[in-house]
Amino acid sequence: MSFKRYCIACLLLIVSTSSFAQKTPKANLPDFMDKRFGMFVHFGPITLRGTEIGWSRNKEVAQADYDSLYREFNPVLFNADAWVKAAKDAGMKYLVITAKHHDGFCLWPTAFSAYNIMNSPFKRDIVGELAKACKKQGITFGIYFTVLDWHDKDYPIQNPNDSTQNVKGNMTAFKQTMKDELKELITRYTPYLLWFDGYWEKPWTNEDGREIYDYIKSINPNILVNNRLGKVSEVLNDQSVGDYLTPEQRIGQLNMNEPWESCITICEQWAWKPNDKMKSLKECIQTLVKTAAGNGNLLFNVGPMMDGRIENRQILRLKEIGNWMKTYGSSIYNTKGGPYAPNESFASTRKGNKIFIHVFKHNGNTVTIPAMPNVTITKAYLFNNTSVQVRQNVTDIQLTLPPSLPDENDNLVVLEVNQNTENIPVIK
Ligand code: FHN
């Protein structure tokens, strides 16, 4: 081999093995997007007060009081199998747990912070038990990890509500602790994805995010990472850090090009709150449908109570969603969004030669949708195979639904067409 070829070979070897060049293989994303529906879990000692995790520190709950709650945190009714079963019963395919939220408390026995579950009365590895239960029940496991940490003295901002509490900090040491904790979580629990959060404060830079992303890739290049490790951008470009977009408390726009996941609460607060307002079944189903119809995933949040149980009313709501998914799940899982952009009257998902029209509102049992140029509808029916009348012209397609409709949460009409629906351009 000539010296020149030898140098090229060495360069290629360096680039291929060095962490700075590595990104999550794009081939990993379709598997994630096909899951469509996951459970988000916000949990920690703050459930003893019923106020918001992180944000109520030095607000509704005095900082010293908040930071001592772990000494009485003892969720003795925590049962990882029960949480995972609740997710499975809802038709969810993955689960993401707040291993460490902005208050810095760690739900796993980390060697890098004394502020962790083993120094509470509970003394059990909540992250580890959930990882094991997910594996046992076939649910994909993910970990939420905060970028900012208002409890760690190396992080300069100690509380967003009171800048007088701030300290000099040491970002080099802070990032080393983050790397050490992430290595524990990755090597011990093998998460499918890491859900970062808390990128927005001044001490954290996009370069810091890139550094941590590269470090994660050097340990396991296949782990999915959301777009909240760097300074988040509304699109994925060469400046953004991470693999998918994360609209929060709203349904993302129809986007056929970039993977995205909306995170939305089943109630109003992320962590458990007594008598919090819970979404109706219709709202839950239509949120999931509109997310899938936008070509996105829904990470739907529950907040377990201080004793470790998920409220029974939330369990029942999740079961109702699961019953709906038992009938209609094939119009959600493994589908693509579109070709129609979701609106308040209807939304659409598609797979193969079928377009699933999810009807939320109809005018006397008729639904009018824009025509699809060069597409011929060969058959139209409800999910229970009741025929649906179709009249189409150059501008519109009019569907006449049968008098009795099966599901006012979402009346699903299947349109079979003369081509692969994924080739149909988006119709705004
Ligand atoms: O501050 C957090 C909040 O507590 C919650 O974890 C959400 C979930 O995505 N993210 C942040 C708010 O944007």
Q: Which three-class secondary structure string do you get for 162-221? A: CHHHCCCCCHHHHHHHHHHHHHHHHHHHCCCEEEEECCCCCCCCHHHHHHHHHHHHHHCC
Last residue of a domain, one of 282, 306, 334: 334
- Model pTM above 0.85: yes
Kindly report the CATH number assigned to the domain that includes residue 158. Answer: 3.20.20.80
Mutation probe of ligand 1 site: the residue of 270, 297, 302 with most atoms within 8 A of C-beta: 270
- Residue 83 near ligand 1, beta carbon < 6 Å: no
Last residue of a domain, one of 315, 334, 353: 334
Q: How far is the CA of 127 from the centre of ligand 1 (A)?
A: 19
- Residue 195 near ligand 1, beta carbon < 6 Å: no
- Angstrom CA distances, 161 to 46, 58, 63, 106, 341, stand at 17, 7, 10, 22, 40
Q: Are residues 301 and 165 in the same domain?
A: yes
Number of domains the chain is built from: 2
Banded model confidence at residue 365, pLDDT cuts 50, 70, 90? confident
**Does some domain include residue 68?**
yes
pLDDT at position 10: 61
Determine contact, residues 272/50, Cβ cutoff 8 Å: yes
- Residue 125 near ligand 1, beta carbon < 6 Å: no
Q: How far is the CA of 232 from the centre of ligand 1 (A)?
A: 13
Q: How far is the CA of 98 from the centre of ligand 1 (A)?
A: 10
- Residue 91 near ligand 1, beta carbon < 6 Å: no
Atom of ligand 1 nearest to the CA of 263: 9
- Residue 54 near ligand 1, beta carbon < 6 Å: yes
**Does some domain include residue 325?**
yes
**Averaged confidence pLDDT in the chain:** 94
Q: Are residues 82 and 186 in the same domain?
A: yes
Before 121, cis peptide (omega within 30)? no
Average of pLDDT values for 401-412?
89
pLDDT at position 403: 87
Banded model confidence at residue 2, pLDDT cuts 50, 70, 90? confident
Residue 19 pLDDT > 50, yes or no?
Answer: no
Q: What are phi and psi of 35, to 5 degrees?
A: -70, -35
Average of pLDDT values for 84-100?
98
296 lies in which domain range? 24-334
Determine contact, residues 79/311, Cβ cutoff 8 Å: no
Kindly report the CATH number assigned to the domain that includes residue 341. Answer: 2.60.40.1180
- Residue 248 near ligand 1, beta carbon < 6 Å: yes
pLDDT at position 193: 98
- Angstrom CA distances, 131 to 99, 266, 298, stand at 11, 22, 20
- Residue 294 near ligand 1, beta carbon < 6 Å: no
The HSE-up count of residue 304 (CA atoms within 13 Å, CB side) is: 27
pLDDT tens, 203-217? 999 999 999 999 999
**Number of residues assigned to the chain:** 428
pLDDT at position 168: 97
pLDDT at position 238: 86
pLDDT at position 16: 46
Q: pLDDT above 90 covers what percent of the chain?
A: 88
Q: pLDDT above 70 covers what percent of the chain?
A: 96
What are the beta bridge partners of residue 377? 417
Residue 44 pLDDT > 50, yes or no?
Answer: yes
**Does some domain include residue 13?**
no
Q: Are residues 178 and 72 in the same domain?
A: yes
pLDDT at position 233: 76
Give dist(CA 388, CA 35) in Å, integer.
Answer: 29
Give dist(CA 333, CA 18) in Å, integer.
Answer: 36
- Residue 103 near ligand 1, beta carbon < 6 Å: no
Atom of ligand 1 nearest to the CA of 53: 4
pLDDT at position 369: 96
pLDDT at position 408: 86
- Residue 152 near ligand 1, beta carbon < 6 Å: no
Q: Are residues 104 and 175 in the same domain?
A: yes
pLDDT tens, 54-71? 999 999 999 999 999 999
- Read off the amino acid at residue 188: R
The more confidently predicted of residues 247 and 17 is 247
- Residue 270 near ligand 1, beta carbon < 6 Å: yes
pLDDT tens, 279-318? 999 999 999 999 999 999 999 999 999 999 999 999 999 9
Q: Are residues 152 and 70 in the same domain?
A: yes
Dihedral (CA of 167, 172, 177, 179) sign: positive
Q: Are residues 237 and 255 in the same domain?
A: yes
Question: How far is Cα of residue 160 from the mean position of the Cα atoms in its chain?
Answer: 25
- Residue 148 near ligand 1, beta carbon < 6 Å: no
Atom of ligand 1 nearest to the CA of 200: 13
Q: How far is the CA of 402 from the centre of ligand 1 (A)?
A: 44
Q: What DSSP assignment string belongs to 271-296?
A: S--TT-----HHHHHHHHHHHHHTT-
pLDDT at position 417: 97
Last residue of a domain, one of 334, 358, 384: 334
Mutation probe of ligand 1 site: the residue of 248, 272, 298 with most atoms within 8 A of C-beta: 248
pLDDT at position 185: 98
Q: Are residues 147 and 260 in the same domain?
A: yes
pLDDT at position 9: 60
DSSP character at residue 156: S
Q: Are residues 320 and 354 in the same domain?
A: no
**Does some domain include residue 413?**
yes
Atom of ligand 1 nearest to the CA of 40: 8
Banded model confidence at residue 234, pLDDT cuts 50, 70, 90? confident
Q: How far is the CA of 254 from the centre of ligand 1 (A)?
A: 23
Q: How far is the CA of 197 from the centre of ligand 1 (A)?
A: 7
Q: Are residues 278 and 324 in the same domain?
A: yes
